[in-house]
Amino acid sequence: MPKPVLILSMLTTFALNALAISINGKHIVYNGGKFQGVDSILLFSSINQAELTYTGDSAFVWRDFNGNDLQSGTGAETLLPEDRQGYTLWENGKKKGSYWVIDYSKHFLKNVALRAEQDNALPCEQVHLILPQLDELTYLDTLLVEHSITHKAKLSFHDLTWSEEEKTWTDSIAERTIDVRESMYVDASTDSTSYCLTDIWAEQLGISESQPLCSNTIDPVKVAQHLTHITTIRESDNPNKLNEPGRPQEEDQITGSAPMEILFKSNPTPAVRFFDWKIYKGTQLIVERHDEEIRYTFRETGQFRVTSVVSNGTCKSDSTEVTISTNVSKLLVPNVFTPNGDGVNDEFRVGYISIVEFHIWVYNRWGHEVYHSTDPAKGWDGRIGGKPAAEGAYFYVVRARGADDQKFHLKGDINLIR
């Protein structure tokens, strides 16, 4: 049904079929002449202030829908309409307009019990609203055939909206414009709520006796979630000497050097009771868990898909997912370092990506071990027993395994220059 047009002024003039008509009294011109068998329906806030005036200068006649003459003459004349009555206006023997008048102060949505129930057919999507004793609103066309008019109301209810800024569900008010019937199906909420109807026409007309109709509180069946993830930042002993490109350094990082430890949260709405997490590598399912949140370390190289579905046994959410990528393994060994304290290349460090096992040995020219480490993030500072080592060539051996199970066996010389 087309939306009503609200006339805000107390006295308005509009053109209809090239005829000038003025309407006095706070009112709504509803449907603009598109109803079957009548040009306009006029809703007044009070019939006591309602006036219809012909403002032309020709011979005119006001008649009711039974064809009875009510008023005639030439020039401006005012008709005082009655509630739920129809009127036609004739000019020089030709019908120029037909109007049905309603005193809406007598027909707005009354304060009756609005009941909310779970919808047995579609409980995850909608709620059943029942409004007994609905005052049926009707009009007659010029042939005296009765037609129904549907009340318009603003439906409002409490719901939850995900806040990206706060990373949580926040309270919100959902609003819809609906046609009011004795039995209505409306959107389900993700939280406990009552449903309220506000009569739009009564509100626009300023009818103070009209109050919102609110239902009983109904618990949610509908469920929702919002998957979030937090990557563990792997600290370096000295960020200025980072020798691992792709090291996770941001909580939202989902691509980088393995191993990557990530906490996944489903962030469920209140009705959720069951959780189903699945982690795939390619098409292969490698992990399935049933907690509200899970923590997983991606130690292998490749692309992983993490999915989450929540439910309460009746309703379930759509699957949400995130894709995690870990880089192929690499090692890069320099051939020189300068431990002179200038902050540049002061340590002998191996560059690496996605290394999960690591050993490095450094020997002097006589084959004595001067350094050993199992942590690729650390390096040799060019000291032996706390004292600066002599300049010259040293020999290294590296044995490592990548997240993609690639094995590294590297040997070579490193030159220490001060």
3-state DSSP of 205-269: HCCCCCCCEEECCECCCCCCCCCEEEECCCCCCCHHHCCCCCCCCCCCCCEECCCEEEEEECCCC
DSSP code of residue 316:
B
* Residue 123 domain-assigned (yes or no): yes
Does 36 have pLDDT greater than 80? no
* Residue 365 domain-assigned (yes or no): yes
The last residue of a domain, from among 326, 358, 374:
326
171 CB-contact burial (10 Å; exposed 0-12 / middle 13-18 / buried 19+):
exposed
- In this prediction, residue 34 has a pLDDT band, given cuts at 50, 70 and 90, of low
Across the strands, what pairs with 268? Answer: none
Structure tokens belonging to residue 31: 């449907």
Does 75 have pLDDT greater than 90? no
User: In which element (H, E) is residue 204 found?
Assistant: helix 200-205
Q: How many domains does the chain have?
A: 4
Does 11 have pLDDT greater than 70? no
Classify 304 as helix, strand or coil: strand
The last residue of a domain, from among 279, 307, 326:
326
pTM here? 0.79
Residues 11 and 97 reside in one and the same domain: yes
Contacts 24+ apart (CB under 8 A), 252-255: 254/229, 254/322, 254/323, 254/324, 254/325, 255/324, 255/325, 255/326, 255/327
Which amino acid is residue 404, in one-letter code? D
pLDDT for the residue numbered 13: 37
Bridge pairing between strands 407-416 and 336-337: parallel
pLDDT for the residue numbered 210: 92
pLDDT for the residue numbered 238: 63
Does 136 have pLDDT greater than 80? yes
Residues 159 and 197 reside in one and the same domain: yes
Does 2 have pLDDT greater than 70? no
Residues 206 and 249 reside in one and the same domain: no
* Residue 220 domain-assigned (yes or no): no
Top pLDDT among 216 and 110 is at 216
What is the rounded average pLDDT of the residues 25-30? 91
Residues 17 and 79 reside in one and the same domain: yes
Structure tokens belonging to residue 23: 């309407």
* Residue 246 domain-assigned (yes or no): yes
Structure tokens belonging to residue 1: 């049904």
End-to-end CA distance of the chain: 87
79: domain CATH number is 2.60.40
Classify 178 as helix, strand or coil: strand
* Residue 404 domain-assigned (yes or no): yes
Structure tokens belonging to residue 163: 């806040």
Residues 264 and 290 reside in one and the same domain: yes
122: Cα within 13 Å, side-chain hemisphere: 9
For 104, 106, 168, 332, the CA distances from 82, given in Å and listed in that order, are 11, 12, 55, 94
Residues 196 and 271 reside in one and the same domain: no
DSSP code of residue 328:
P
Instruction: Select from 208, 218, 210 the least CA-distant residue to 157.
Output: 218
DSSP code of residue 389:
P
The last residue of a domain, from among 214, 243, 270:
214
**What's phi and psi for 278, nearest 5 deg?**
-135, 140
Across the strands, what pairs with 72? Answer: 61
What is the rounded average pLDDT of the residues 355-369? 97
Residues 232 and 322 reside in one and the same domain: yes
Greatest alpha-carbon pair distance for the chain in Å reads 128
pLDDT for the residue numbered 265: 97
Structure tokens belonging to residue 28: 């709504």
Residues 6 or more apart in contact with residue 238 via CB below 8 angstroms: none
Read off the pLDDT of residues 237-288 as tens digits, 9 standing for 90 and up: 665 567 998 899 899 999 999 999 999 999 999 999 999 999 999 999 999 9
Cβ-contact 153, 198 below 8 angstroms: yes
Which amino acid is residue 354, in one-letter code? S
What is the rounded average pLDDT of the residues 380-392? 96
DSSP code of residue 89:
E
- In this prediction, residue 110 has a pLDDT band, given cuts at 50, 70 and 90, of confident
- Which percentage of the chain shows pLDDT scores above 70? 93
Cβ-contact 158, 137 below 8 angstroms: no
What is the rounded average pLDDT of the residues 376-405? 96
Does 164 have pLDDT greater than 70? yes
Is the torsion defined by CA of 80, 84, 85, 89 positive or negative? positive
Top pLDDT among 232 and 234 is at 232
Residues 96 and 124 reside in one and the same domain: no
Q: Which domain holds residue 18?
A: 5-106
Residues 12 and 76 reside in one and the same domain: yes
What is the rounded average pLDDT of the residues 101-128? 93
What is the rounded average pLDDT of the residues 187-215? 95
264: domain CATH number is 2.60.40.10
19 CB-contact burial (10 Å; exposed 0-12 / middle 13-18 / buried 19+):
middle
Residues 192 and 141 reside in one and the same domain: yes
pLDDT for the residue numbered 20: 57
Does 113 have pLDDT greater than 50? yes
- In this prediction, residue 133 has a pLDDT band, given cuts at 50, 70 and 90, of confident
What is the rounded average pLDDT of the residues 369-375? 97
pLDDT for the residue numbered 6: 37
Read off the pLDDT of residues 291-334 as tens digits, 9 standing for 90 and up: 999 999 999 999 999 999 999 999 999 999 999 999 999 999 99
Residues 123 and 95 reside in one and the same domain: no
What is the rounded average pLDDT of the residues 65-76? 88
Residues 141 and 203 reside in one and the same domain: yes
* Residue 372 domain-assigned (yes or no): yes
Cβ-contact 275, 255 below 8 angstroms: no
* Residue 402 domain-assigned (yes or no): yes
Cα distance between residue 188 and residue 273, in whole Å:
18
Cα distance between residue 362 and residue 380, in whole Å:
9
What is the rounded average pLDDT of the residues 369-379? 95
pLDDT for the residue numbered 3: 39
pLDDT for the residue numbered 281: 96
Structure tokens belonging to residue 203: 């509100």
What is the rounded average pLDDT of the residues 104-122? 91
Classify 105 as helix, strand or coil: helix
**CB-CB neighbours of 21 under 10 Å:** 20
* Residue 223 domain-assigned (yes or no): no
